[in-house]
């Protein structure tokens, strides 16, 4: 592993024109790597015989040092004149790759020499105290503009991908098609004949939203073809995407005859529109030899990179840093943790994620981010037939019956056992719509019966989207076209079958959800439920199916009604249906908002029958402001990023007027608590789906960290991110802040402790039940200004030890800060711009803390 050098300095020995100039003990005569002793902040200087001018891409070197040294290197240029050059601390953002114990670095010239001044020497030194082992250095020199990786071992020269379409074969969730001769079944590279302007297409079964940084792939073609490739995105609708001709500006590196390409996202998708396919073709006539392609997919936003410093895949993948340089000096910030105030237990189920059917067998990131529970949910689960392992994709994807998961044999029980294997709990959605899939092949709006439609499934030609060519909704056939009846007994049989299995293996389902978003059934599942749901239908189905579940599993935790969002908290689908009298259904039920009415009726039912049906009230929440959530565009411009972070105030702040069509305070958690208190005391609260968008951008990471803190503060029973944050994205690291910030199990503790923070910052605190361990998470949501935080620990005891770890967008995650200033009841910490900082504290309590309220895991009491 090395980088092409325009001006070598040391490569097996000091190169002509350069000389060794000291100063620590060293062995630099060659052949072989230079060896330098950097104990006592030692280092090495190399001097050129004359001033060096010219434009370089950066300084490259390989080094080998004991892992205990950590990040210790500092590099700078120098000259005999009065010019002062920056001292650059080498961090993970400068790492291109690793080969065994050797680390390849590339420091951009913009950091070393921002004013492009002449220099004649290079200084490498330790910026921290390290041991007396040798530091070995090799391949030291300046790169051409547009540095390229070379001599890479097979398999290392591909970019880190967060969505893979083809890698030694077509990946699950994707299918290959095209108009040219091709061999794409794998294993190995795809082979496509591009003579006569031939090409190839890859289509994803579920459309993708924007939010990537680029399209990456490797290709091999005869050199005589020259620049011949054209790539574009496409969608099943009428969206038109740019055609991008691949040129030298897109080439990241060469490896033998293979060329690594990265096409930036703004060229492919400047309007950030959803898409479902990638098309590659020759834009000019070429020969009839194979064009080979591999490692084709999309890179994450944090992996956005200039051609001068390509971050190469190694192990988990290295993206480029999103860390920001502070503008101006840090501003002071006063934060406080109040251990004298009442505390409460934190439910472990607030760190939940969703089951992603298309990614179940790919990657390990869903198991590594620290989530504690996974939810089997989403639109298809309303139609899941547990006996046949079949569901219907509804209007998400052409109303098709299919098997769940990315493998046909994947079942609900595989889901439960996978969670158990990885130490996670399970939440399971139970259908109560009344119809489930009859097989894995039927479609609701077949071409043979309805003719061509507005959109047809490219994979299953018989499946249409249920709209005429003009866009008019088609009247569905009878539900039996795709489905069989699923009365309450059908669901009770499923629950009994689970309990029977659990007698040997222990409980496998820790929460049941009564279906999914009933007030959208008439659109999502209009092929079997075309009429809008009413107050009475929701209650009747909840009573009949909920009672069946309770009888089958008396100890079950049952949640509902899993409503989709703001409108459905207050009105039925019938209240807002097109052509209906507005709010007629609500007015017929005492003009009570839907959720309070629902809770009150269930309380009355329990009093009358003695059967508790509902344990947890569950709703879904997606911010509605333009550009924030996944279905609103996920914009990351400065204004949208700030709006995304502000929108989290809708979870808790009664003074925050929602900046969307809602246009009033949402105060979601306090609102739900009040509804429960007034109408059915003792119920828990769950947010079964939520997502603040832009998971790959630091604003999305900060919003996610804020949300988790508010869930802990608000005492929620459960919360489930939809679906799973992309691996090593800022939202992924936000989970890790609470669940495994140090990679060794460091986590937010079990009791929530009240805290306060200045505007522009947030602080969430927790401690162990014995009061000896306190973990707090501080957020700086200012993109430009660092904060010097002074954290008061009121009544927490004597501070015995501290560790401060910060994430500000670095691909490597949390890094430990220098030892903070601290006294008995106070500590200091630096909060970089746009950052998540964990304060991990050891305390000697002045007295034993009081027992937190709300016993962990307690089921609600009877009314």
The pLDDT of residue 109 is above 90: no
Range with the largest mean pLDDT of 317-331, 811-825, 835-849: 835-849
Q: Which helix (H) or strand (E) holds 597?
A: helix 594-609
Contact 774, 801 (CB under 8 A): no
Q: Label residues 852-863 b or e (16+ Cβ within 10 Å = b).
A: beeeeeeebeee
DSSP-derived 3-state class of residue 420:
helix
Q: CA geometry: angle at 478 spanning 473 and 479, to 5°?
A: 95
pLDDT at residue 4, rounded to an integer: 73
Of the chain, the end-to-end C-alpha distance in Å amounts to 68
Least confident of 216-220, 256-260, 551-555: 256-260
Task: Return the residue matching tokens 């002045």.
Answer: 846
Q: What is the pLDDT of residues 465-506, one digit of tens each?
A: 999 999 999 999 999 999 999 999 999 999 999 999 999 999
Q: Which helix (H) or strand (E) holds 75?
A: strand 73-78
- Own/partner long-range contacts of 422-426 (Cβ < 8 Å, ≥24 apart): 422/367, 424/367, 424/371, 424/372, 424/373, 424/374, 425/348, 425/349, 425/372, 425/373, 425/374, 425/510, 425/511, 426/373, 426/374, 426/376, 426/508, 426/509, 426/510
Give the contacts of 223 (CB within 8 A, at least 6 positions apart). Answer: none
What mean pLDDT comes out for the span 184-192? Answer: 90
Interaxial angle between packed helices 535-552 and 488-505, expressed in degrees from 0 to 180 and rounded to the nearest 10: 30
Asked whether the CA dihedral 162, 167, 170, 176 is positive or negative, the reply is positive
The pLDDT of residue 679 is above 80: yes
pLDDT at residue 227, rounded to an integer: 87
Q: CA geometry: angle at 412 spanning 411 and 416, to 5°?
A: 120
Q: CA geometry: angle at 160 spanning 155 and 161, to 5°?
A: 115
What mean pLDDT comes out for the span 683-704? Answer: 97
What mean pLDDT comes out for the span 839-856? Answer: 80
The Cα 179–Cα 458 span in angstroms is 14
The Cα 600–Cα 681 span in angstroms is 10
Contact 708, 641 (CB under 8 A): no
The Cα 684–Cα 560 span in angstroms is 11
The Cα 653–Cα 665 span in angstroms is 8
The Cα 682–Cα 673 span in angstroms is 10
pLDDT at residue 417, rounded to an integer: 96
The Cα 741–Cα 812 span in angstroms is 11
The pLDDT of residue 197 is above 90: no
The three-state DSSP-derived secondary structure of 323-361 is: CCCCCCCCEEEEEEEECCCCCEECCHHHCEEECCHHHCC
Q: Confidence class of residue 299 from pLDDT cuts 50, 70 and 90?
A: confident
What mean pLDDT comes out for the span 643-657? Answer: 98
Which tops the pLDDT comparison, 812 or 396? 396
The pLDDT of residue 855 is above 50: no
The pLDDT of residue 729 is above 80: yes
Contact 346, 702 (CB under 8 A): no
The Cα 396–Cα 406 span in angstroms is 16
The Cα 324–Cα 702 span in angstroms is 14
Which of 387, 383, 388 shows the shortest CA–CA distance to 399?
A: 383
What mean pLDDT comes out for the span 844-853? Answer: 82
DSSP characters over 811-835: TT--EEPSPPPEETTEEEEEE-SSE
Contact 529, 484 (CB under 8 A): no
Q: Confidence class of residue 115 from pLDDT cuts 50, 70 and 90?
A: confident
The pLDDT of residue 775 is above 90: yes
The Cα 520–Cα 530 span in angstroms is 10
The pLDDT of residue 757 is above 90: yes
Task: Please give the share of the chain, as a percent, with pLDDT higher than 90.
Answer: 68
pLDDT at residue 721, rounded to an integer: 98
pLDDT at residue 781, rounded to an integer: 98
Contact 54, 104 (CB under 8 A): no
Contact 460, 398 (CB under 8 A): yes
DSSP-derived 3-state class of residue 439:
coil
Which of 271, 125, 272 shows the shortest CA–CA distance to 211?
A: 272
The bridge status of strand 511-514 relative to strand 558-563 is parallel
DSSP characters over 675-719: HHHHHSTT-EEEEEEE--S-TTSHHHHHHHHHHHHHHHHHT-SEE
What mean pLDDT comes out for the span 738-751? Answer: 96
What mean pLDDT comes out for the span 309-313? Answer: 32
**In 10 A of CB 53, how many CB atoms?**
9
pLDDT at residue 788, rounded to an integer: 96
The three-state DSSP-derived secondary structure of 219-278 is: EECCHHHCCCEEEEEECCCCCCCCCEECCHHHEEEEECCEEEEEEEHHHHCCCCCCEEEE
What mean pLDDT comes out for the span 650-658? Answer: 98
Q: Confidence class of residue 157 from pLDDT cuts 50, 70 and 90?
A: very low
Range with the largest mean pLDDT of 7-21, 347-361, 831-845: 831-845
Task: Return the residue matching tokens 């993206």.
Answer: 319
The pLDDT of residue 456 is above 60: yes
Q: CA geometry: angle at 228 spanning 224 and 234, to 5°?
A: 155
DSSP characters over 835-849: EEEEEEEEEE-SSPP
Q: What is the pLDDT of residues 37-76, one digit of tens each?
A: 998 888 999 999 888 877 787 899 999 998 788 889 999 9
Q: Confidence class of residue 321 from pLDDT cuts 50, 70 and 90?
A: low
pLDDT at residue 300, rounded to an integer: 66
Q: Confidence class of residue 252 from pLDDT cuts 50, 70 and 90?
A: confident
The Cα 371–Cα 509 span in angstroms is 16
Contact 560, 546 (CB under 8 A): yes
Averaged pLDDT of the chain: 89
DSSP-derived 3-state class of residue 729:
coil
The pLDDT of residue 515 is above 60: yes
Least confident of 106-120, 216-230, 284-298, 725-739: 106-120
Q: What is the pLDDT of residues 586-642, one digit of tens each?
A: 999 999 999 999 999 999 999 999 999 999 999 999 999 999 998 888 898 899 999
The pLDDT of residue 860 is above 90: no
Least confident of 283-292, 397-406, 491-500, 842-851: 842-851
Least confident of 37-51, 251-265, 402-416, 685-699: 251-265
Q: What is the pLDDT of residues 213-239, one digit of tens each?
A: 789 999 999 988 988 999 999 988 778
pLDDT at residue 406, rounded to an integer: 63
Least confident of 53-57, 243-247, 519-523, 525-529: 53-57
Contact 369, 392 (CB under 8 A): no
pLDDT at residue 362, rounded to an integer: 66
DSSP-derived 3-state class of residue 446:
strand
Contact 519, 563 (CB under 8 A): yes
What mean pLDDT comes out for the span 204-213? Answer: 79
Task: Return the residue matching tokens 């959109």.
Answer: 455
Say how far residue 566 (Cα) sits from the centre of its chain.
24
Task: Please give the share of the chain, as a percent, with pLDDT higher than 70.
Answer: 92
What mean pLDDT comes out for the span 15-43? Answer: 90
The Cα 399–Cα 473 span in angstroms is 13
Q: Label residues 349-359 b or e (16+ Cβ within 10 Å = b).
A: bbbbbbbbbbb
pLDDT at residue 145, rounded to an integer: 64
pLDDT at residue 160, rounded to an integer: 65
- DSSP bridge pairs for 257: none
Q: Confidence class of residue 318 from pLDDT cuts 50, 70 and 90?
A: very low
CA distances from 665 to 72, 192, 594, 713 (A): 49, 56, 18, 19
pLDDT at residue 77, rounded to an integer: 93
The pLDDT of residue 665 is above 80: yes
The pLDDT of residue 852 is above 60: yes
Which of 617, 644, 655, 657 shows the shortest CA–CA distance to 706?
A: 644
The Cα 140–Cα 59 span in angstroms is 7
The pLDDT of residue 402 is above 80: yes
Least confident of 72-81, 335-344, 718-727: 72-81
What mean pLDDT comes out for the span 108-131? Answer: 88
């Amino acid at each position: 592993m090395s980088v092409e050098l325009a001006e070598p300095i040391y490569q097996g020995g000091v190169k002509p024109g350069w000389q060794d100039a000291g100063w620590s003990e060293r062995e630099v005569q060659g052949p072989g790597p230079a060896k330098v002793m950097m104990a006592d902040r030692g280092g090495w200087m190399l001097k050129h015989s004359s001033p060096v001018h010219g434009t370089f891409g950066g300084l490259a070197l390989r080094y080998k040092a004991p892992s205990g040294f950590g990040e210790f290197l500092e590099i700078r240029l120098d000259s005999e004149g009065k010019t002062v050059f920056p001292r650059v601390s080498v961090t993970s953002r400068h790492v291109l790759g690793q080969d065994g114990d050797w680390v390849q670095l590339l420091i951009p010239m913009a950091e070393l020499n921002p004013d492009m001044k002449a220099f004649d020497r290079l200084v490498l030194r330790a910026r921290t105290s390290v041991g007396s082992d040798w530091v070995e250095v090799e391949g030291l020199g300046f790169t051409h503009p547009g540095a390229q990786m070379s001599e890479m071992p097979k398999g290392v020269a591909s970019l880190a991908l967060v969505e893979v379409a083809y890698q030694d074969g077509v990946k699950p969730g994707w299918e290959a098609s095209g108009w040219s001769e091709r061999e794409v079944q794998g294993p190995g590279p795809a082979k496509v004949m591009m003579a006569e302007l031939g090409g190839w297409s890859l289509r994803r079964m579920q459309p993708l939203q924007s939010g990537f940084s680029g399209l990456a792939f490797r290709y091999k073609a005869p050199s005589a073809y020259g620049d011949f490739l054209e790539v574009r995105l496409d969608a099943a609708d009428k969206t038109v995407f740019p055609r991008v001709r691949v040129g030298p500006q897109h080439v990241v590196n060469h490896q033998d005859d293979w060329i690594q390409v990265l096409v930036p996202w703004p060229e492919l998708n400047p309007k950030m529109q959803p898409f479902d396919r990638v098309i590659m073709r020759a834009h000019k006539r070429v020969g009839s030899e194979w064009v080979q392609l591999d490692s084709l997919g999309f890179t994450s936003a944090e992996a956005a990179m200039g051609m001068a410093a390509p971050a190469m895949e190694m192990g988990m993948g290295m993206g480029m840093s999103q860390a920001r340089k502070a503008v101006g000096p840090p501003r002071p910030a006063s934060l406080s943790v109040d251990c004298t105030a009442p505390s409460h237990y934190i439910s472990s189920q607030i760190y939940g994620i969703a089951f992603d059917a298309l990614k179940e067998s790919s990657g390990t990131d869903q198991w590594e981010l620290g989530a504690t529970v996974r939810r089997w949910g989403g639109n298809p689960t309303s139609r899941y037939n547990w006996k046949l392992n079949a569901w219907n994709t509804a209007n998400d994807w052409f109303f098709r019956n299919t098997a769940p998961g990315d493998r046909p044999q994947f079942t609900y029980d595989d889901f439960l056992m996978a969670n158990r294997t990885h130490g996670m709990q399970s939440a399971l959605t139970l259908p109560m719509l009344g119809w489930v899939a009859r097989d894995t092949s039927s479609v609701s709006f077949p071409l043979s019966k309805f003719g061509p439609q507005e959109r047809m499934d490219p994979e299953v030609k018989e499946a249409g989207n249920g709209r005429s060519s003009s866009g008019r909704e088609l009247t569905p056939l009878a539900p039996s076209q795709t489905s069989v009846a699923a009365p309450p007994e059908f669901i009770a049989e499923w629950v009994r079958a689970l309990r029977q299995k659990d007698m040997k293996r222990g409980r496998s389902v820790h929460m049941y959800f009564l279906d999914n978003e009933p007030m959208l059934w008439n659109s999502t599942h209009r092929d079997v439920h075309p009429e809008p749901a009413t107050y009475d239908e929701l209650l009747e189905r909840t009573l009949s199916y909920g009672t069946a579940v309770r009888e089958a599993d008396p100890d079950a935790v049952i949640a509902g009604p899993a409503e989709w969002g703001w409108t459905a908290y207050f009105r039925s689908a019938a209240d807002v249906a097109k052509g209906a009298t507005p709010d007629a259904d609500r007015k017929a039920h005492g003009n009570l908002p839907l959720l309070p009415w629902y809770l009150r009726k269930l309380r009355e039912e329990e009093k009358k029958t003695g059967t508790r049906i509902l344990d947890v009230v569950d709703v879904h929440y997606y911010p509605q402001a333009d550009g924030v959530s996944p279905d609103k565009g996920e914009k990351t411009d400065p204004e949208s990023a700030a709006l995304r972070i502000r929108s989290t105030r809708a979870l808790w702040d009664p003074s925050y007027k929602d900046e969307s069509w809602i246009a009033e305070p949402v105060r979601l958690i306090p609102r739900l608590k009040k509804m429960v208190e007034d109408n059915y005391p003792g119920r828990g609260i769950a947010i079964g789906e939520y997502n603040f968008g832009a998971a790959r951008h630091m604003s999305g990471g900060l919003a996610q960290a804020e949300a988790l803190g508010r869930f802990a503060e608000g005492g929620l029973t459960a919360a489930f991110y939809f679906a799973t944050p992309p691996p090593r994205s800022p939202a992924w690291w936000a989970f890790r802040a609470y669940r495994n910030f140090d990679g060794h199990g460091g986590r937010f503790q079990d009791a929530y402790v009240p805290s306060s923070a200045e505007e522009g910052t947030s602080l969430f605190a927790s401690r162990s039940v014995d009061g000896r361990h306190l973990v707090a998470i501080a957020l700086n949501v200012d993109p430009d200004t660092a904060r010097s935080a002074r954290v008061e620990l009121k009544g927490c005891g004597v501070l015995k030890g501290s560790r401060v770890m910060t994430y500000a967008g670095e691909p490597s995650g949390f890094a430990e800060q220098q030892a903070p200033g601290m006294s008995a009841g106070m500590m200091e910490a630096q909060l970089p711009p746009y950052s998540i900082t964990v304060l991990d504290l050891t305390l000697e309590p002045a007295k034993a803390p009081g027992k937190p309220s709300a016993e962990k895991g307690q089921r609600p009491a009877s009314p």
